[in-house]
Amino acid sequence: MHEGEHEDRRGGARQDADGRPAAAGAPDVRPLDGFTVGVTAARRAEELGTLLERRGAQVVYAPALRIVPLPDDAELLAATKDLLDRAPDVVIATTAIGFRGWIEAAEGWGLGETLLARLEAAELLARGPKVKGAIRAAGLTETWSPASESLAEVLERLLEEGVRGRRVAIQLHGEPLPGFVESLRADGAEVVGVPVYRWMPPADIGPVDRLLDAAVGRGLDAVTFTSAPAAASLLHRAEERGMREELLNALRHDVLPACVGPVTALPLEAHEVTTYQPERFRLGPLVQLLCRELPGRVRPLTIAGRQVEMRGQAVLVDGELRPVPPAGMALLRALARRPGWVVSRADLLRALPGAGRDEHAVETAMARLRGALGAPKLIQTVVKRGYRLALDPRLGAKYGDG
């Protein structure tokens, strides 16, 4: 799908991981407390960010693309004049913002009434309900719209009807349409693409670079994508910086890639990245997906008589959220890989980002970690050997501080 989907406007009251009101007496912890989420959207980024923040997430904004204003696009003008000269038999509208922009641009060129007449005479197919709304707002009525909001269903309908000798105009929206145009042409259709808006790299690449650094450094727990061009743009920038494989490795293993729908996911899945998508291709369900998936990745531990959950860049200790510095989280994750087993200072030093070779850095970071947790007995010092979480991995017994 594309950016500009419906959002879930519920908020304010405390909710559980599925967005329902929390039960009475439940810990006052929101589902995304402690997690950091990257937002790559060019449009509606603030709306998506607000939905995430209401549920506790820290949000990193990095618009991965920008949109060229429609009246400035010579290709759209040329395609519009072509359709006015030779009327289409079928018009496929794929996005609401694109359809509205097309009509507004045509009106600015003095071609609005003629374009509306051409569209009214054609078989007008709308990919989803938002596009239907834009069509009706223009005074037109769609011929048909698929219940699935899928272009695959649109293609199936057209091929069943037969397209040989028909002129089919499809509103392009910067996202890949694998096999769609080829299938129509193979069955004898003349296909005209209408480029309603064009994606370009962001004017300021700085936020994108910071998001890439955070993702590769595991400073993000998830990255959201609401358009395929945004995903493709992020991969392209990573390749320019020589870090594409590092980014892909992070998205495959540690940083959850959340896509609003299957079309958005295509650039990532082409690189064997498994993406997560809501059942309904909207912003609200996308946020609800993260509210389930991110806490679901957490493995609760009982340590020194306390219930502990590591949540991204923070730790829940007996239901209380404790922010932890990045160095401390690196140490805690290294200890949690083998709960209760001793981890040497040398191994912990390797886990510290940019620590060099001074083992004193481990002691300093460990002291700060214990202070941040507010419960020093969670981590036991083993003299001359290293540190461990204070539990027995076989029996679950608790240990005191050494």
pLDDT, position 121: 96
Q: If pLDDT is split at 50, 70 and 90, which confidence band does 15 have?
A: very low
Question: Can you tell me the mean pLDDT for 381-401?
Answer: 66
% of residues, the chain, pLDDT over 90:
45
Q: If pLDDT is split at 50, 70 and 90, which confidence band does 389 have?
A: confident
On whether residue 14 sits in a domain, the answer given is: no
Q: If pLDDT is split at 50, 70 and 90, which confidence band does 13 have?
A: very low
**Same domain membership, residue 269 and residue 210:** yes
Q: Which of 199, 214, 231 is the last residue of a domain?
A: 199
**Same domain membership, residue 354 and residue 317:** yes
Q: Which of 199, 227, 261 is the last residue of a domain?
A: 199
**Same domain membership, residue 230 and residue 195:** no
**Same domain membership, residue 124 and residue 51:** no
pLDDT, position 166: 97
Q: Which domain holds residue 260?
A: 36-65+202-296
Distance of alpha carbon 193 from alpha carbon 98, whole angstroms: 13
On whether residue 24 sits in a domain, the answer given is: no
**Same domain membership, residue 262 and residue 313:** no
On whether residue 279 sits in a domain, the answer given is: yes
pLDDT, position 350: 83
Q: If pLDDT is split at 50, 70 and 90, which confidence band does 259 have?
A: very high
On whether residue 142 sits in a domain, the answer given is: yes
**Same domain membership, residue 236 and residue 312:** no
Contact by Cβ (8 Å): 330, 254: no
pLDDT digits (tens, 9 = 90+) for 203-246: 899 999 999 999 998 889 999 998 888 999 999 999 999 999 99
On whether residue 3 sits in a domain, the answer given is: no
Residue 22 has pLDDT above 50, yes or no: no
Structurally, the chain folds into a number of domains equal to: 3
**Same domain membership, residue 183 and residue 99:** yes
The answer to whether the pTM exceeds 0.85 is no
Q: Which of 68-77, 173-182, 269-278 has the lowest mean pLDDT?
A: 173-182
- Residue with the bigger pLDDT between 144 and 8: it is 144
**Same domain membership, residue 330 and residue 312:** yes
**Same domain membership, residue 128 and residue 53:** no
Question: Can you tell me the mean pLDDT for 252-258?
Answer: 95
Q: C-alpha distances in angstroms, 270 versus 14, 165, 248, 300? A: 38, 34, 11, 34
Residue 395 has pLDDT above 80, yes or no: no
pLDDT, position 178: 58
pLDDT, position 242: 97
Q: Which of 107-116, 127-136, 391-400 has the lowest mean pLDDT?
A: 391-400
Q: If pLDDT is split at 50, 70 and 90, which confidence band does 282 have?
A: confident
Residue 17 has pLDDT above 50, yes or no: no
**Same domain membership, residue 276 and residue 157:** no
**Same domain membership, residue 53 and residue 148:** no
293 closest CA partner among 254, 338, 329, 331? 254
Distance of alpha carbon 202 from alpha carbon 338, whole angstroms: 43
Residue 288 has pLDDT above 90, yes or no: yes
Report which listed range, 59-63, 92-96, 352-356, is most confident: 59-63
pLDDT digits (tens, 9 = 90+) for 90-109: 999 988 888 998 998 899 99
Arithmetic mean of pLDDT over the chain: 84
CATH code of 267's domain: 3.40.50.10090
On whether residue 322 sits in a domain, the answer given is: yes
φ, ψ (nearest 5 deg) of residue 224: -100, 145
Q: Which of 172, 199, 226 is the last residue of a domain?
A: 199
**Same domain membership, residue 243 and residue 138:** no
Q: If pLDDT is split at 50, 70 and 90, which confidence band does 354 have?
A: low
Q: If pLDDT is split at 50, 70 and 90, which confidence band does 373 have?
A: confident
Q: If pLDDT is split at 50, 70 and 90, which confidence band does 27 have?
A: low
Question: Can you tell me the mean pLDDT for 362-377?
Answer: 87
pLDDT digits (tens, 9 = 90+) for 169-209: 999 865 556 578 889 999 999 999 998 877 788 889 999 99
